Structure 1
C-alpha cells in the first residue's frame, strides 16, 4: 500500500461543538489521496466518539488517543505517525475549503519550493472576514525574507505565524528533526515556521488564496484575559535557535521589533474586561509597560510607515505613553479596532 500524498494532522481537545464540520471539510477535499490523523488530546466531551464515527466511515481516518499534553505535543505525535509525502495541519474548530489541499500540493510541485503558505479568512459567527496579505504573493528564496521572518516592524509578529493554510515536506521535517517546542505556549506555530524555513531554500505565498477558515466568536479581545500568559517563551526559543546565523537574520533588529509587538499584545491583555485590577492599577500596569527602558530603545527599529492605520495609532499611543487613551480605546472601541490591530 503506497503512502498518501498528504497527511492532515488534527489535534483535538474538547472540540465537539465544531469537530464535525472540521472533519467533513477534510474528507470532502478534491484531493482524495490523503490520510487524516485525528489526535484526541484527552478530551472529556464527546470528541472521541465523533472521531471514532468518522474512522468507521472512512478508511483514510486514523484516530489516536492520548493523555492531555497540549497542542504542540499532540502535533508532534502526529508528525511521528504521519506517512504522507507532505504535511498539513488543521485545528479542530477550523475548516478548509474543498480545493485547499489540491491548491497547496499543485503549487508546491509546480513551483518546486519547500513550503507553500496560503491566506485565510475568519468565521465571525455568520460573517467571513478575509485576511489581508502580509507580503505580495509569489515565490521567495528564504534568504530574501530572512530579515522579516521573526518581525518586520509593523506590529504583525512572525511573518508566517500559523501552520494552518500551509503545506510542508515530511522529508525535510524529519531530516532536520523539526518539531513544535512543547515549552512554548504562544506563537508555537510561528516558531515552527521559522525553524522550518531556516532549513529550506524557498517558499511560495498565495496571498489571494483564502483556503483556511479560522472560527472566531464576535467578542472583544478584552474578554480573553489570561493573567499568566507567557509572551516571552517563543522569543527565548527563537533567540536560542537562530543564534548560529544571527548576522544573516538581522536577529538583534528583529528581536527588538518583536519586543514592541509583544508590548502591544501585553497591553491588550492588561486592558481586558476580565482583568480584576482597578482602573488605577490597570493604568499603573500600562505605564510600567510603556515606560520600560528596553522598550524605549526598540522604537527606532520599527517600520511605522508600513503599518496599517489602526496599528499606527496604537503604536503612537505606546510610544508616547498615552496610557489612558490606550485603555479607553481598548475597552470601549473593541471588538472592531482590536480585530484589525491583531490581524
Structure 2
C-alpha cells in the first residue's frame, strides 16, 4: 500500500539539455494565467536539480498565456507546450500524466512558485523511501503581488498524521506534491466525478 507524507519544508538560469529519460516530469495545467505564469515557469527552470521535463497544457486560455510559454519553450528544450479546448483541470492533468516519461510526477500550478531545492529534496526523499507513493511540502501563502501573507506550517507531517487528517480534510498541498507515476496510474488517475476536489479524492 503506497504511503503519503508531507515532510519537506523547502520549495521551485541554467539551461539543461533535454534528457531522453528524465528523472522527473513536472506537469502544469494552465488557464488564463498570463499575470503569474512567467514567475511559475522561472521558478521551475531555476531548480538546482535539472534532470526533468516540464509539460504544460494550455487549457483554452484567451489571455495570451500560451504565447508566454512558447517564448520560454524556445529557450529551454525541457518545456513542452500542449494546447486544447477548455476541458478543466482533471482532463488537463490526466492528459499530462499520459504524456509524461519520468517515474516521478511533480505537480505545479500556473499561479504558484517553488523554491530552488524543491525537486531535488523531494526526489531524494522518495528515492530513500520506496514505500512512499507521494510526498508533499509545506507552503507559504503569497498575494497577487507576491507578498507573503501567511508563512505558518499547517500541514501534518508523517504518514500516520496524514492518514488521520484525510478523514476530515485535504492535508496535502496538491501543487507541491511529487508522486510515483505508477502508483497514480494504478489508482486510475484523477477522477472526473471529483472535478473540484480531485486531489483529495486521489490522496
Normalising by structure 2, what TM-score?
0.83
> Which structure 1 segments of 5+ residues have no match?
152-156, 194-343
1:69 aligned to 2:121? no
Q: Give the root-mean-square deviation of aligned CA atoms.
A: 1.8
Q: Label 1:159 to 1:66 Cα distance change in 2 as closer, same or farther (>3 A).
A: same
Q: Contact 1:25/1:96 (CA < 8 Å) preserved in 2?
A: yes
For residue 148 of structure 1, report the CA deviation from its aligned partner.
Answer: 3.5
- Pairing 1:191–2:201 present: yes
Residues in 2 aligned to 1:164 and 1:119: alpha-carbon distance in whole angstroms: 11
Aligned-residue offset at 1:25:
0.5
Q: How many aligned positions are there?
A: 182
SS in 2 for 1:114: strand
Q: Is 1:150 aligned with 2:167? A: yes
Contact 1:76 1:179 survives alignment (8 Å): yes
Question: Which secondary structure state, in structure 2, belongs to the residue aligned with residue 91 of structure 1?
Answer: coil
Deviation at 1:47, TM superposition (A): 0.6
Q: Does 1:168 align with 2:189?
A: no
Q: 1:91 aligns with which of 103, 109, 112?
A: 109
> How many angstroms does 1:188 deviate by?
1.8
Q: Which residue of 1 aligns with 2:171?
A: 159
CA distance in 2, matches of 1:187, 1:131: 23
Query: 1:108: how far off?
Result: 1.2
Q: How does 1:97-246 map to 2 (within 5 A)?
A: 97-112=115-130, 113-124=132-143, 125=145, 126-135=147-156, 137-138=157-158, 140=159, 146-151=163-168, 157-160=169-172, 162-174=173-185, 176-193=186-203
Cα-to-partner distance string for 1:180-230 (whole Å, 9 max, x where unaligned): 12232322221122xxxxxxxxxxxxxxxxxxxxxxxxxxxxxxxxxxxxx
Unaligned ranges ≥5, structure 2: 1-18
8 Å CA contact 1:116–1:167 kept in 2: the answer is yes
Specify which structure has the higher proportion of helix: 1
Contact 1:7 1:82 in 2 (8 A): yes
